[in-house]
Structure 1
Amino acid sequence: MAEFLVAKVVFQLTNLLVQEAAFLRGVRDQVEWVKTQLQLLQVFLKDAESRRRRGDERVEIWIRQMSGVAYEIEDVIGTIKYMGERRHQRRGFMGTMSRYSHKPRELITLHEIGGKLEKIKEKIRGFSESRATYGIANLGKSSAVDQSGQSLRESSPHSDDDDIDVIGFENDKKELMCRLLDRNEKARCVISIVGMGGLGKTTLASKVYNDPAIKEHFDTSAWVSVSQSYRVIELAKDVMKKVMGIKKKKETTTGITEEDLEQMGEEEVREKLRDFLRDRKYLVVMDDVWSVDVWGQMYPFFPNGNNGSRILLTTREMEVANRARSSFPPYKLHTLDGTQSLELLCRKAFPLKQDVPADMKELAKRLAKRCGGLPLALVALGGLLSGKDSTYDAWWSVAQSMNWEDGPDGKKCFNILGLSYNDLPYLLKPCFLYIAAFPEDSIISASKLVRLWVAEGFIPEEQRRTMEETARVWLDNLVQRCMIQVVERSKAGGQVKSIRIHDLLREFGQSEARRDGFLQICSSDNMAVSIWSHRAAFHNRINDEVAVSSPHLRTLLGFNLILTNGRRFLNGLNLLRVLDLEGTRDLKELPKQIGSMIHLRYLGLRNTSLKRLPSSIRHLLNLQTLDVSGTYIYWLPKSFWKIRTLRHVYINLYMFLSAPIGGDHKNLQTLQIEESEFGLDAMDIVHLRGIRFIKKLVTTPSFTMEEIHKAVDRMFEESLEKALKQMDNLVSLSLILLERIIPGDVLFAQTPNLYQLRSLTLWGRLSLKQQQQCPDSSQFPPNLTKLVLIHSEFEQDPMPVLDKLPNLRLLQLNAYAYKGKSMSCSSTRGFPQLQQLVLFGVHSLEEWRVKAGAMPSLTHLTIAKCEKLKMLPEGLQHVTTLRELDLRDMSYEFNKRVRNEDAYKVRHIPSIHFDLPNEIEFM
């Protein structure tokens, strides 16, 4: 990690000497000296890291002190760049003068910087002297300079995501299937899979759970992850949500929404869940159960009927399985034998399915045997070997460097994981360790992770692609090396959408991060007395005193936080680069002191109760991401848009109107404007009169809500037109305005200029001169790959226009996007690149025609809630690329026809999924 930190600081110092030459007068020589000395020390870090891994504690201290100085230098660099940006924002005569002279405040800052640099120089001299004392050698060119052999390879987006194939588990799966499908055992039964970490319990359970025979046998099912930290009520609500299909703001057949569920107490959840499951045959998987108390606390939620319902547990503890007292004995999962181990290792080491070279077979057997039959260890080692040359010497080198000492349970696996981690390019190591901050078993958004990596400074700038694109390549590299698991890929293009990390890899990452002072995990049952690392992830609760006493903290990540003092816990954290408090309860206000966090790059406040932002956020001149989606904020300071570093902004309509976009925004890639859930209608007139931009919109003292809405629509049209002219590098634009009008003529008049735009989401009725008609294809952004239209209310068929978009890969028409009865894809080569098509809630659609040769690249088709659609189009049988057909909530007649007289149209499709909650007739 020190290698990464020092290399990053040297790179930043190099840029600083060029970009801030005028400001550095007086301290330039000191900056040059620090840069030169760090470059000299870089070449010794590889030897130091190697000796630390062998247990040299003196070298570990030396490395930790080096890392600390690198952080100090980074703070100095950040201060200098901030002062330079403030200088840039001055206008007129003062701006001209500032290029040649310093203001008194800047002179004071320079003096302070000079003092800090002198202290840093003393520490660096100490490192150089102690290096000789410790005998740290120069092992040659540092990997910071030369990474030959450790290049970041771009992996195929369609690589195999199955991290542990069920090799050797065929019989295990058959036995578990027999237990689950046993028609002689009518009582509700608990079936337990027991085994040590890394054996593949979860993977085996997943294979069984997703088997078509299981899906057909049970009326309803749910998968919940229990883990070491759990709350019974939350587990029960998770089961209830999944078996009943409860979704946000969407009533099920039982009339329950997610919001209703959140308000329920334990007794009400137990009563409603039991009532729902009483007459149904259900399967519930409780994955990764650690505590013997879990089943005792959960069984009252499940009715014990005589219809063959099942509970499937996975656990490391035999006592957990014994406590369940099932008629079936616990199913013990064993390690793989030599043949199975070799097969799994080779499958991962040679992902292209080529055979093991004859001269390496014996060595491969020895490597596989030493993994102790642990599937996770075999997968990790196979991923490591896949990145090496397929030569005997390369594999022998790996075998020689491994620590093969036996240890309890996963110790051997830990050693192998450590080897895979050490083999990562030094630039990838902090990216991997960062993932360990997320809670156990959590599904991590790839887009959010990428934004966090960029904000942390892990990703270097390159000329040929954005930092976000580089981060995506690195994410794929971690997947390819089997260090993380893919949960979901986009069906159009195969890009990773979400990931998770295996428990053992997460534990390893946390251990390594603690040792490096990189990251510290603070949970409610393990709250640290003090934070000594530079990053902290708080799970569930945050200790106010801990945060206040950690002024060196650079990252604060909150997960499911409950605050006791919403303002105090941020005081004094002026070095923060990342502050993510998504979903924090009772967070209604941020302190004014947040404006002192001049290094802040990421401010994540999504789904909190915040009602306002302090005006001091205009001072955050390094800010890259602002995410306040799902909050109650309705105001932004106008000077906010003077922040030139903005890359990703998620705000609501009222914030956008209060501070229209202006200035230089060449870095802005993502803009999402949503109509806040509370809406103007939820406010009383007295409150509205107090909102600044509302007072400017209406002139009459006794305005009505109708006047306000008209004025808002008018102002949004003007503001959007101005904004679109200043966002040449925008990649993603989302206007989520629910029932409000989207000014289509203004929008589509500007979009051809948005050459970089790839994703466009429009939720709201489009206002166009040619009413209810889709704009001409030439008006769409030329490189658009994703288009989502919701409530557009087109009356004319949009397909003849949309099928001419040359690069479109994903098209979604949702919820009254089109109000006509007939739709036609009539162009022979229409939609040349389209891979995924979703028709959801096109309620009036009765007939859909597809001409032979249309949609030649389509792989995934989803049709949902199109209740009047009579049949699948005849031309669908000619779309030979189609791999998956997903039919949801369609009429009984439609589904029956697909399965019978229209079967010839879909016979070539490998996967066809019907989803009807009450489709008992088809069972």
Structure 2
Amino acid sequence: MIESALVDTAVEILMKGLVEKVDAQVHYVLGFEHEFEEMKSELVSLQSYLADVDRHKERYNTLEAASSTLRELIYKIDDLVIDCQNRVDYEKMKDSWLSSISLRGLYFRNQVGKKLVEINKEIANMRQTLNIIPSVIDLYKSEELGSSGSGKVRWTSDIIDESQTIGLDEDTRTLKKWILPCNGSLQLIGIVGMGGLGKTTLAQKIYNDREVCSRFNLKIWVCKSNFGELEIMKSILQQLKKDDHGSDRSVLLKGIHEALLNKKYLIVMDDVWSIEDGWWKHIFEGLPKTENQSSCIIVTSRNEEVVKRMGVEEEQIHRPKLLSDEEGWLLFSKVAFASSKGKCKDPELKRVGKGILKKCGGLPLAIKTIGGLLSSKSQLRSVWQDIGEDLPQVLVDESKSYDSLLATLQRSYDELPVKLKQCILCFAIYPEDSEIEVDQLANWWIGEGFIYKKGRKIARKMALECLSELISRCLVEAVRKRNYDGRVYSCKMHDMIREMIIRVAKRESFSSLDDQNANKASIHSRRLGVTNETLLQPLHGNSKLRALLVTKANWIIGFTRQVALAQVKSLRVLDLSHIKFEESSQFCEEDIWRWITSLRRLAYLGLRDVENLTKLPRSIKKLWGLQVLVLGECKDLKQLPRTITALPKLIVLDVGNCTSLSYLP
């Protein structure tokens, strides 16, 4: 299927890089104005096809081969643009027209010209391949308009199944303390958390609570994810048993206002994703808010920022916690052993079940999904063990329903802006339960061009804002952060969200992972997380690798000019933090520096806390595209070469806590 996240991001990189960053420099210094303009025009046309394809991507399985070809083409274009940018910056730094007519300069231009011609032919061929799409899409659109549904929709109602709930008593008490007092005005309350956490279930429990029911004259339940502004108004009027005919929003809103005036009402807005189209402002402004009403609106959402923008104060936001081991087992037992009234009579089966339960990480929907799956299987220990060992794939095979666990989590990814999709896929390379350094993530995003300077905002600030948004959307959890301003130092990801991200990363060929979701080096690898178990020799012949990061500390590197890694020249991101340079028959420091300084596209080099690193070579000046150089905590580093001042794009030089470093050039 066509993956618009990758395509849109790559086109965005091309457009921004070409038009804003390189601009006339590439056109006039390199002399390929016509070819670049042709490329840009072709890609914009291609993008219009892809926008429609993405909306119908599940119907386009036959285009998987085209997707792969397109992905390769986009990467090829991106590489060419980066090479041109770096060359322009180098010639600008040299400030001499001689560099452009040197043998190397002429050779570079000759290669660029050939690649541009080749790429423009490939784009034209791709458009021919996809020419049939508009007519096919029109056909599918007409089919959809003629059907009662409009695709996959998640429906929720106010009805609660008490047999499927556990561990909500404390949450319910907290919310009732906010809701039950007559405060005299309309109050807004938010319930925020990741998909599958039980936000809707908690709202249902409150909505049906006896004391809450007696507190309000009228109650209204709206599942926002299904409706636009007009449908919400009609749904409210229907529940109030008022006339909901017509499409004049002002008339409908007046009807709602009159029906609720002088009444104590409770409205639940369940599953709110966005307020960008202004629906909330219009509806909220039309609701009565007299001082003696003491009414309440409860909003549930996966996005904390959306809830705050709706007017909910921080102290009125409730964040349900994951279930404890004990609560998780009670919920699991209710579902898995429903036929025996929640009792497990086999101690060995209970032991296996608790092992499987740990993979759920306390997420209620995961527990119910897996419990329901196991209840339908033979209750033999061997059967359960087999399912537990292959749980991620079992969940994929069983996820037929839109309300399934993986579909629920997938929706959180689908709703992300393009740049955040690329950023969150980076989490796929980290081992399970990793505590991930925010600095490494931010530098990676900058190095690959996912995040870049925008206006007056520097790239690093943009990267930290992106991480904050992922945290706000409950996809990433902050682990260590600074108290006074909330600056996050490290983060982690829930195992079930990680499973979903890994599925997407595999599908988009974002990273190379084996059946156990461990990083696997190959000739096709684009991004690689390295641990002590990673074999690098399969990289032999790889010309695609963009990012290589050590994701487990204390890795001892063995490196000579003969190893496969020494032949990889395509890296944008290289993070060898916490490794140990060790002189031996399998390591030569001179060879590793020769390799590093040959990486002409390298934008981020991380060498934090590297043992036995005493100096950098003069040849560091060859890294024309280097933007971020991290040397912090290298206790043995004594000096930096003067040539480091010749790096034209360097924006970050981190030498914090390098205790042996006496001066800077």
Same fold flag (TM > 0.5) = yes
- Could you say which residue in structure 2 is the equivalent of 1:479? 471
SS in 1 for 2:489: strand
User: What aligned pairs does 1:286-435 form with structure 2 within 5 A after superposition?
Assistant: 339-340=201-202, 342=204, 360-361=221-222, 382=271, 384=273, 411=399, 412-435=404-427
SS of structure 2 residue aligned to 1:565: coil
Q: Larger Cα Rg: Structure 1 or Structure 2?
A: 1
Give the C-alpha shift of residue 569 in structure 1: 4.5
- Change in CA separation of 1:97 and 1:487 when aligned onto 2, cut-off 3 Å: same
Query: Which AA in structure 2 matches 1:541?
Result: E
Q: Hey, what does 2:109 align to over in structure 1? A: 110
Correspondence for 1:503 among 495, 501, 504: 495
Aligned partner (choices 602, 608, 611) of residue 610 of structure 2: 608
Q: Distance in 2 between matches of 1:487 and 1:643?
A: 35
Q: Secondary structure at the match of 2:559?
A: coil
Q: What residue is the counterpart of 2:74 in the other structure?
A: 70
Within the candidate set 56, 64, 71, 1:60 is matched to 64
Aligned to 2:576: 581
Q: Which runs of 5+ in 1 are unaligned?
A: 140-166, 174-196, 201-335, 347-354, 367-380, 399-404, 652-671, 680-711, 724-923
Change (3 A) 1:417 1:650: same
| Secondary structure class of the residue paired with 2:29 | coil
SS of alignment partner, residue 625 of structure 2 = coil
Pick closer, same or farther for the CA change 1:484–1:344 going to 2, 3 Å: farther
Matched-pair contact (CA < 8 Å) for 2:11–2:74: yes
Q: 1:602-645 CA deviation, whole Å, 9 max, x = no partner?
A: 11122233434443222011112222233333343211111132
Whole-angstrom CA distance in 1 between matches of 2:114 and 2:201: 65
Match of 2:332 in 1: none
1:758 equivalent in structure 2: none
The answer as to whether partners of 1:510 and 1:520 remain within 8 angstroms in 2 is no
Q: Counterparts of 1:524-535 in structure 2 under 5 Å?
A: 526=518, 528=520, 530-535=522-527
Q: For 1:136 and 1:563, how far apart are their aligned partners in 2?
A: 57
Q: Deviations over 1:769-816 (max 9, x none)?
A: xxxxxxxxxxxxxxxxxxxxxxxxxxxxxxxxxxxxxxxxxxxxxxxx
Moved more, 464-473 or 407-416: 407-416
Superposed CA deviations along residues 807-853 of structure 1, whole A, max 9, x for unmatched, are xxxxxxxxxxxxxxxxxxxxxxxxxxxxxxxxxxxxxxxxxxxxxxx
The amino acid across from 1:515 in the alignment is: R
Match of 2:14 among 6, 9, 13: 9
Matches within 5 A, 1:278-293: none
**SS in structure 1 opposite 2:471?**
helix
Aligned to 2:92: 88
Residue in 1 that maps onto 2:24 = 18
Equivalent residues of 2:604, 2:626 under 8 A apart? yes
- Choose from 624, 629, 632 the match for 1:629: 632
CA distance 1:58–1:525, change in 2 (3 Å): closer
Map of 1:191-270 to 2, 5 A cutoff? none
**Residues 1:116 and 1:127: Cα distance change in structure 2 (over 3 Å):** same
Residue 519 in structure 1 maps to residue 381 in structure 2: no
Show the 5 A alignment for 1:154-169. 168-169=166-167
Report SS of the residue matched to 1:550. Answer: coil
What do you get for the CA RMSD once the two structures are aligned? 3.9
Give the structure 2 partner of residue 238 of structure 1: none
Which residue of 2 is the match for residue 469 of structure 1?
A: 461
CA distance in 1, matches of 2:55, 2:623: 40
- When residues 582 and 362 of structure 1 are mapped into structure 2, their CA distance, relative to the original with a 3 A threshold, is closer
Contact preservation (8 Å) 2:437, 2:489:
yes
Equivalence map 1:39-54=2 (5 Å): 39-52=44-57, 54=58
**CA distance in structure 2 between the partners assigned to 1:170 and 1:111 by the alignment:** 68
How has the CA–CA distance of structure 1 residues 136 and 594 changed in structure 2, closer, same or farther, with 3 Å as cutoff?
farther
Partner of 2:376: none
* Residue pair 2:196, 2:408 contacting (<8 A) in 1 also: no
How far residue 135 of structure 1 moved from its aligned partner, in angstroms, is: 4.6
Q: What displacement does 1:511 show? A: 1.3
Question: 2:653 matched to which residue of 1?
Answer: 649
> How many angstroms apart in 1 are the aligned matches of 2:420 and 2:89?
30
Sort the Cα spacing of 1:602 and 1:575 in 2 relative to 1 into closer, same or farther, 3 A.
Answer: same
Q: Tell me if structure 2 keeps the 8 A contact 1:566–1:587.
A: no
Report the TM-score when normalising by structure 1.
0.43
The answer for the alignment partner of 1:122 in structure 2 is 121
CA shift in 2, pair 1:510/1:577, >3 Å: same
State how many pairs are aligned. 438
1:822 aligns with none
Task: Return the structure number with greater relative CO, CA threshold 8 A, min gap 6.
Answer: 2
Aligned twin of 1:309: none
Contact 1:10 1:39 in 2 (8 A): no
Q: 1:511 to 1:624 in 2, by over 3 A?
A: same
Q: Give me the whole-angstrom Cα distance separating, in 2, the residues matched to 1:345 and 1:520.
A: 46
Cα distance 1:168–1:116, how it changes in 2: closer, same or farther (>3 A)?
same
Cα distance between partner residues in 2 of 1:81 and 1:365 = 45
Counterpart of 2:84 in structure 1: which amino acid? I
Contact 2:196 2:409 in 1 (8 A): no
Cα distance in 2 between the residues matched to 1:114 and 1:337 = 56
| Alpha carbons of structure 1 residues 497 and 419: separation in structure 2 relative to 1, 3 Å | same
Identify the match of residue 566 of structure 1 among 542, 559, 571.
559
Question: 1:823 maps to what in 2?
Answer: none
Q: Kindly indicate whether the alpha-carbon contact (under 8 Å) linking 1:537 and 1:559 is maintained by their aligned counterparts in 2.
A: yes
TM-score, structure 2 length as denominator? 0.58
Residues 325-367 of structure 1, C-alpha deviations (whole Å, 9 max, x = no match): xxxxxxxxxxx69853636999xxxxxxxx9x9554477899x
Q: Percent identity?
A: 23
Equivalences for residues 591-606 of structure 1 within 5 A: 591-606=593-608
Q: In structure 2, what residue type is equivalent to 1:578?
A: V
Question: Is the 8 Å Cα contact of residues 522 and 537 (structure 1) preserved in structure 2?
Answer: no
| Larger relative strand fraction | 1
- Aligned equivalents of 1:17, 1:338: Cα separation in 2: 50
Q: 1:524 to 1:360 in 2, by over 3 A?
A: closer
2:42 is aligned to 37
Work out the CA distance in 1 between the residues paired with 2:511 and 2:435.
20
More helix per residue: 1 or 2?
2
The structure-2 alpha-carbon separation of the partners of 1:199 and 1:108, relative to structure 1 and needing over 3 Å to count, comes to closer
- Structure 1: how far apart are the matches of 2:545 and 2:30? 26
> Separation in 2 of the partners of 1:338 and 1:622?
49
Change (3 A) 1:570 1:522: farther
Decide whether the 8 Å contact of 2:223 with 2:271 is kept in 1.
no
Q: State whether residues 438 and 489 of structure 2, in contact with CA within 8 Å, keep that contact through their aligned partners in structure 1.
A: yes
Letter in 2 for 1:18: A
